[in-house]
Amino acid sequence: MRFPIFKTKIKGVTQKFHLTEPKDRKAYFELKAGPEIKKLKEFLKRNTFIAYLLGKKNSGKGTYSKMFAEVINPEKIEHFSIGDMIREVDKELKDSKKRAELISFLEKQYRGFLPLKETISVFKKRNTETLLPTELILALAKREIAKGEKKALFIDGFPRNLDQISFALFFRDLIGYREDPDIFILIDVPEAVIDERIKWRRVCPLCQTSRNLKLLPTSKVGYDEKKKEFYLICDNPDCLGLTRRTTTEGTRMISKEGDELGIKPIRARLEMDEKLMEKAFSLQGIPKVLLRNSVPVKEAEKFVDDYEITPEYSYQWNAKTKKVKVIEKPWKIIDDESRPSYSLLPPPVVVSLIKQIVEVLHL
């Protein structure tokens, strides 16, 4: 799928921002989308919308919608993940009182070809490979949507096993459930970006904070002289509190088993996600917001500012001073159409999200 490149560069403006600093980020959004932010804040005082996030695994769905909420109004916007919902339902089924409430809700709401009892037993016995019956997810999603009334919702994660017809019905049914505007948000990220995000991912074993050795380091980087490798040290302030007693350095972040393989193990999943996006793209009657993560190197100067491009980090070890030197440069990838490209940091993508939402809502 080819999405248009969104222009975030403003002619004549040379001011630079450090987009990882919350204060700078605020000023950046004010400059690039001030009037639109104001309109959305005003709109959300009395109105809501439902946005369906569609993008491949690791495409940044959560990052973008959470940053959007941070900029506009966190109290009025909720990010709702179907995956998290299913994990919550798992817990409910183990608690006899909550379980009875859930079943009584489903008896009223569930429409499907499998009897409810059987559906629930599929739910309990499933593993990560089995896909849940669409009708069950639909009924549960409705319950969540009803809870979140008076808030704009970003819904993340949809059944991937839908055929054309049930796909359209699925959305029509959900949309009819609440009478506010609905929007599809489609995210286009080159597979090379997803691959590197997984390969270099590092997680703190104590607080589970996730960073990236190549793309999103912490403020402290260490070097293991025995293994000859660099590592990140968790700098989450809450986490430092946990470790102070045992070590002075903070916790070394680690890679999860299998991450070094990148997208290889999830290739089938990515293909399914792509098909789902194509289906959503061709579904008529719902306005669409198209988010694009990459910009071809050749066109970058025309469309974006330098500081909006994701840098890549590499490291050098100085054996004499025992210090790590951090080297930063723009990160180049090859996009899905074989063009050398840059990947954008989340803020410029969120600027394009804000402006396109204002447009589809006719504000």
Neighbour count for residue 162 (Cβ, 10 Å): 18
Nearer to Zn ion, 239 or 354 (CB): 239
- Least Å distance between CB 232 and Zn ion? 10
Residue 97 class from Cβ within 10 Å (0-12 exposed, 13-18 middle, 19+ buried)? exposed
As a whole number of angstroms, the distance between CA 359 and CA 204 comes to 40
Nearer to Zn ion, 109 or 236 (CB): 236
- Least Å distance between CB 204 and Zn ion? 3
As a whole number of angstroms, the distance between CA 259 and CA 248 comes to 28
- Segment (H or E) for 147: helix 134-147
CB under 5 A: which stretch of 146-154, 233-241, 301-309, 313-321 binds Zn ion? Answer: 233-241
CB under 5 A: which stretch of 183-191, 198-206, 300-308, 315-323 binds Zn ion? Answer: 198-206
Using the rule CB under 5 A, is 358 a contact of Zn ion?
no
Nearer to Zn ion, 176 or 237 (CB): 237
- Segment (H or E) for 132: none
Using the rule CB under 5 A, is 236 a contact of Zn ion?
yes
Q: DSSP for 241-276?
A: HHHTTT-SS-PBPBPPTTGGGTTGGGHHHHHHHHHH
Nearer to Zn ion, 48 or 218 (CB): 218
Residue 317 class from Cβ within 10 Å (0-12 exposed, 13-18 middle, 19+ buried)? middle
CB under 5 A: which stretch of 144-152, 188-196, 227-235, 299-307 binds Zn ion? Answer: 227-235
Contact 142, 166 (CB under 8 A): no
Residue 13 class from Cβ within 10 Å (0-12 exposed, 13-18 middle, 19+ buried)? exposed
Between strands 288-292 and 229-233, the pairing is: unpaired
Using the rule CB under 5 A, is 254 a contact of Zn ion?
no
Q: Pick one of 85, 183, 234, 350: the residue that binds Zn ion (CB under 5 A).
A: 234
- Segment (H or E) for 289: strand 288-292
CB under 5 A: which stretch of 44-52, 62-70, 100-108, 209-217 binds Zn ion? Answer: 209-217
Q: Pick one of 69, 120, 183, 204: the residue that binds Zn ion (CB under 5 A).
A: 204
**Residue whose C-alpha is closest to residue 154's, from 15, 282, 289:** 289
Residue 198 class from Cβ within 10 Å (0-12 exposed, 13-18 middle, 19+ buried)? buried
- Least Å distance between CB 227 and Zn ion? 21
- Least Å distance between CB 251 and Zn ion? 5
Chain-centroid distance of CA 231 in Å reads: 25
Nearer to Zn ion, 114 or 240 (CB): 240
Q: Pick one of 141, 185, 207, 216: the residue that binds Zn ion (CB under 5 A).
A: 207
Nearer to Zn ion, 118 or 249 (CB): 249
Nearer to Zn ion, 244 or 332 (CB): 244
Nearer to Zn ion, 69 or 239 (CB): 239
- Least Å distance between CB 3 and Zn ion? 36
Using the rule CB under 5 A, is 239 a contact of Zn ion?
yes
List of residues contacting Zn ion (CB under 5 A): 204, 206-207, 209, 234, 236, 239
